[in-house]
């Protein structure tokens, strides 16, 4: 069990319980088994970035809510991106923000390549 998996698992449980959802409710919303949610929360398995994106949507949180602060991007960078797209409708801005978060989370969670 890695420290990252444990952190993510704790955040999933914290955010799930804050919304009043049971593991079975979250599993149904994500179309996964309750055992999958249990394994994430227990840090037996770690959700993929795609699964974190789905979790963020279901739980109404940004993808960064699941990650330790040292993996989060600088807010200023996100603000620059949003200011460059000021004439987009709110729903397009939200989707753009989610995509940028997804790409950064994927990079942050990417396992370091083995040294040759």
Residue 85 lies in a domain: yes
Is 115 within the bounds of a domain?
no
Q: Which domain holds residue 43?
A: 3-109
Q: pLDDT, tens digit, for every residue of 17-29?
A: 999 999 999 999 9
> CB–CB of 12/61 below 8 Å?
no
Q: Is residue 24 part of a domain?
A: yes
Q: If you average pLDDT over every residue of the chain, what do you get?
A: 84
Task: Assign 3-class secondary structure to 63-99.
Answer: HHHHCCHHHCCCHHHHHHHHHCCCCCCHHHHHHHHHH
Q: What's the whole-model pTM score?
A: 0.67
pLDDT digits (tens, 9 = 90+) for 78-89: 656 556 665 677
Quote the number of domains for the chain.
1
pLDDT surpassing 50 at residue 74: yes
Give percent of the chain with pLDDT exceeding 90: 42
């Amino acid at each position: 069990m890695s420290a990252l998996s444990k952190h993510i698992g704790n955040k999933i449980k914290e955010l799930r319980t804050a919304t009043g959802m049971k593991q079975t409710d979250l599993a149904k919303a994500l179309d996964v088994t309750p055992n999958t949610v249990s394994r994430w929360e227990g840090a037996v398995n770690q959700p993929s970035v795609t699964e974190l994106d789905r979790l963020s949507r279901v739980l109404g949180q940004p993808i960064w809510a699941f990650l330790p602060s040292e993996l989060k991007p600088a807010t200023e960078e996100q603000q620059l991106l949003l200011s460059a797209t000021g004439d987009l409708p709110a729903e397009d801005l939200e989707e753009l923000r989610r995509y940028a978060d997804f790409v950064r989370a994927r990079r942050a969670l990417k396992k370091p390549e083995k040294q040759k």
